[in-house]
Structure 1
Amino acid sequence: MKSNLFKFSLIALFFLILVGCNKDDTEDQLVTSFTTEETELNAKVDNTTEVISDTFLQVYEYEESAVKSPIHPFLPDCATITVEDTDTSKEVTVDFGTEGCEVRGGHIVKGKVNMSYVVDTEAMTRIINYTLEDFFVDDVQFVGSKIVTRQKANDNGNPQYTMSLGLTVTFADGTQASRTGSKVREWIEGSFNGNWGDNVFLITGAWETNFKNGSTHSTTIITPLRREASCRFLVSGVVELVRTNYSGSLDYGNEECDNLAVFTNDNGEEREIRL
């Protein structure tokens, strides 16, 4: 009897251990899936916001250039530009329509970008306001506005744009997030040569992304992100990520144009992320 009871106890103990291990494994898998999914979503927001910045800078620099081509060198033919000038101000609207236009890099952009600023050709800095109206990049919707401080030349002698962020992002599946913070874009190559395709920017800054489910993502660029106009993705740079349930860093690579980045958590574990 004692022998049978002992055997039963061993079996019960083994079963409990097995169930406990399976539960831990399942929880680990769920956490891994959750963190990877949210990291990918956050990286996609980072990448698509650069498409907005590209559009804004292309239009602004074209409007302020001394010589204008009758055909816009940066935007597709399906985009319509409307300009209202006064002696002291300018308002510019770019309408990509409801069907959308394919811009450089292969992204489909829909909706309008409205920008306004005071005209002062002597000023070394200029404040530019712009808002987004029914605006989509691919299947991601952006709602909000930005204030951009544009410097003719920073300490390195390069044009620079400091952007305050205030955006709400909605993905195709209904997932929603809001983003606040600021970033700085330094134009390090190709400025004012009339060829947008060879332009290169370095991006620094920090921001916070709040998901509707309560998760908060804080992002700080620790190695400047490199944005090349010839590539639809960020090509290098490292950001530090602090999340509700995990932390780590996201490395965009070594200047290769691909849709991959590597997330490394605080334990040193690496996972490939698709942008």
Structure 2
Amino acid sequence: MKMKNLFTRISSSGLIAAIVLMTSCQDEDKRLTVQDTQDISEEALTDSYYQDIDDMGSVAIGTPSDSEFSGGRKASTITINDDRFDCNGVVVTVELDGASTVDIPKGKITVDFGTLGCADAKGNVRKGKLIFSYYKRRFQPGSSIVTTTENYYINGIKLEGVRTSTNITGSTEEAPKFQVSLTGGKATFADATVATRQSDITWSWIKGTTRALDQLVIDKVSTASGTTRGGRTYAVSLQEDLVYNRTCFFAVSGIKKYIIDGSKEIVINYTAGDCKTISVTVNGITRSLTVN
């Protein structure tokens, strides 16, 4: 049961697409500034990079065989069939906890991308290490992955913080449900500017009768906040659950709200559900935007 970029691809690209559309309206609506669009775009970018780490952790934990998940204290290297790990010099090491068993595996997987950089099929370049400390298999009730970084960079941006993903109550085989938190999130850009982030997100993967009918639902209790590279604060909340599918590059349902510097409100509404129309409201003024 590999999600294979579902979460990363759809949750970030939809918001970035909305930002592009909002930018095109700036001449008509001065209430949405260039700084606003830059701040929201940065939030979307860093969020997508942390989601990418989540997805790589899920893929990594799903790779070891039963024998590699048991056998007492030992370390071994594995090969992961994913283009993000497919570079000469990338080393993936599994270290088992002494109590690890086939039924309840426990241990640590370290992915070392090296210092030269590993480019994936989309041109994203990764360096440094990701450390995934896991308990149970990915889709077992109560399973968890705690992710830390060691000099980890993607496309020249250094990411730090502790990312914890837990399979929570109410999760089923047909609809796995996870609570994902980020503490101490920090993105350092090539010009040495820094954005900070913390988040608490609950999401479910609703599996359809075919992969094309799969849905990912981000619960409206989810929140994120932080500071931008320019020093402005932001807070993100949901007024309705965000629903994504595999056929649309942004949400097909839901409402997302930003508060910039504690006062400026920007709301993105996806409830048209037609995969081509969204509405953007800035401090009470709404525009409908169509994706061609």
TM-score by length of 1: 0.68
Question: Are residues 1:219 and 2:227 paired?
Answer: no
Structure 1 unaligned residues grouped into runs of 5+: 1-27
CA contact (8 A) 2:199 2:225 kept: yes
Question: Are residues 1:91 and 2:102 paired?
Answer: no
2:80 to 51, 72, 77: 72
Q: Give every structure 1 segment of 4 or more consecutive aligned residues whose post-TM-superposition deviation is greater than 4 Å.
A: 28-31, 64-68, 119-123, 197-200, 233-237, 251-256, 260-263, 269-272
CA contact (8 A) 2:39 2:228 kept: no
Query: What residue number does 1:133 align with?
Result: 150
TM-score by length of 2: 0.65
RMSD (CA atoms): 4.2
Query: What residue number does 1:159 align with?
Result: 176
Question: Are residues 1:188 and 2:189 paired?
Answer: no
- Name the aligned partner's letter for residue 203 of structure 1: I
CA contact (8 A) 1:146 1:164 kept: yes
Question: Are residues 1:109 and 2:136 paired?
Answer: no
The alpha-carbon distance between structure 1 residues 46 and 146, as it changes in their structure 2 partners (threshold 3 A), is closer
* Percentage of matched positions with identical amino acids: 22
Question: Are residues 1:201 and 2:216 paired?
Answer: yes
Question: Are residues 1:210 and 2:219 paired?
Answer: no
> Which range moved further: 87-96 or 181-190?
181-190
Q: Tell me the CA shift for residue 99 of structure 1.
A: 2.7
Q: Tell me the CA shift for residue 206 of structure 1.
A: 0.7
CA contact (8 A) 1:90 1:116 kept: yes
- For 1:126 and 1:140, the matched residues in 2 are separated by 30
CA contact (8 A) 2:226 2:235 kept: yes
Q: Tell me the CA shift for residue 30 of structure 1.
A: 9.5
CA contact (8 A) 2:255 2:268 kept: yes
Question: Are residues 1:41 and 2:49 paired?
Answer: no
The alpha-carbon distance between structure 1 residues 37 and 113, as it changes in their structure 2 partners (threshold 3 A), is same
- Bigger proportion of residues as helix: 1
- For 2:64 and 2:34, the matched residues in 1 are separated by 46
The alpha-carbon distance between structure 1 residues 34 and 261, as it changes in their structure 2 partners (threshold 3 A), is farther
Q: Tell me the CA shift for residue 33 of structure 1.
A: 2.0
Give the length in aligned residue pairs.
238
Q: Tell me the CA shift for residue 115 of structure 1.
A: 1.4
- For 1:169 and 1:47, the matched residues in 2 are separated by 12
